[in-house]
Amino acid sequence: MGDILVSWINRLAVACIIVAAAVPVRAESPQPAADLTRLPLAALISQSEELGLPTKFLRDLPSDFVTVTFEDLHRWGAEYHPEEHHMILNRALSFNQAAGSLRPLTKMTTSEVGNLYHELYHAYMDYLETKPPDPSTDGGRLLAATQELQKCRYAEVKITPVLQRRTSTEVRYLSEREAWETQHETWGVFVQWAIWTKLELIASRGKPGLVTEGWLKRLKKADHDSILVGYYEPEDPHERKLAQKRYLAPAYRISPQEIHTIMVLLFGEPSDAADRAATAAQPASPKNAAVLPTCKQ
């Protein structure tokens, strides 16, 4: 594995955990925080625009839907709790590290902004799942796409038991919750990567739109290296003793079709830009293609 791959996978390993109520991932539930604060959405949107980042889904999110608290997180970089619509971010993302309010995006590192977008994506999906919109809207189509993928692509997957030995894989039949988590994290990983990469390309900062030649070139490499893979926390206690997180095998990395859906329906990129992204994520040889959804009725 190349250095970039190792460093990206290490980054993912501390990226995020999305905690559904049924799974006792943490021994204790999060403390009711005294310093609960609303997500400063209006400020986030204007700062995102300043950096040339997508804002479509942020505009769709009601400002009173999510609360944020800051904690000294060691195990994961961030947590999202859908039942309480609650985002827990690392204290480093707060203003003066005082755990009071969110630091402006323009003062964060590229990794921090990527991590924050990953959590904002979880918050938006939580909103769509809590209040399903009309199926004909972009939000409704996005929700339907994720639900189909949970049933048809992420219910039966292959994992890499040892992250460093990616050719050695095992089949797993995921529970509904595990498949839900795997789809959410796969997409969260892509969202995080897309935003981080845009900001790493200094020349494109401040300009609207994600898709540039440089971004496409990096997407092609990311797909080739199969770094855009999701993960889940196994429900089976025995398996959880072996591994806190299971990472999907390269064939189960995000597919070009899923990238296209995210680009259009979540980010609001023009469809020709989404086409170019999907093409860049198409491997040269069909035998290396990502596994496509198959629905077993």
Burial of 164 (0-12, 13-18, 19+ CB in 10 A): exposed
Decide if residue 16 touches Zn ion (CB under 5 A): yes
CB 31 within 8 A of CB 88: no
Q: How far is the CB of 121 from Zn ion (least distance, A)?
A: 8
Least separation in angstroms between residue 65's CB and Zn ion is 17
Least separation in angstroms between residue 234's CB and Zn ion is 16
Q: Does 114 help bind Zn ion (rule: CB under 5 A)?
A: no
Q: Which stretch binds Zn ion (CB under 5 A): 5-13, 95-103, 187-195, 209-217?
A: 187-195
Say if residues 80 and 123 touch (Cβ distance below 8 Å): yes
Q: Does 188 bind Zn ion (CB under 5 A)?
A: yes
Residue whose CB is less far from Zn ion, 87 or 280: 87
Distance (Å) of CA 43 to CA 101, 156, 270: 12, 41, 24
Which residue lies nearer to Zn ion by CB, 211 or 252? 252
Q: Which two tokens stand for residue 25?
A: 């991932």
Q: Which stretch binds Zn ion (CB under 5 A): 49-57, 143-151, 163-171, 181-189?
A: 181-189
Q: Is 238 exposed, middle or buried (0-12, 13-18, 19+ CB in 10 A)?
A: exposed
**What residue has token string 């809207």?**
137
147 and 155 in contact (C-beta within 8 Å)? Answer: no
* Burial (0-12, 13-18, 19+ Cβ within 10 Å), 200: middle
Rank residues 178 and 185 by Cβ distance to Zn ion and give the closer one: 185
Q: Closer CB to Zn ion, residue 188 or residue 250?
A: 188
- Closest contact distance (angstroms) between CB of 193 and Zn ion is 12
Q: Which is nearer to Zn ion, 78 or 210 (CB)?
A: 78
Work out whether the CA dihedral 205, 209, 213, 216 comes out positive or negative: positive
Stretch that binds Zn ion, among 8-16, 45-53, 255-263, 288-296 (CB under 5 A): 8-16
Give the residue with the Cβ less far from Zn ion, 114 or 250.
Answer: 114
Q: Which residue is nearest to Zn ion (CB)?
A: 16
Q: Considering the complex, what minimum distance in angstroms separates the CB of residue 131 from Zn ion?
A: 21
Tell me which residue has tokens 């004909």. Answer: 136
CA distance 214 to 227: 18
Q: Point out which span in 9-17, 21-29, 64-72, 158-166 binds Zn ion (CB under 5 A).
A: 9-17
Q: Which two tokens stand for residue 118?
A: 């990953």
Name the residues that contact Zn ion, by CB under 5 A: 16, 18, 185, 188
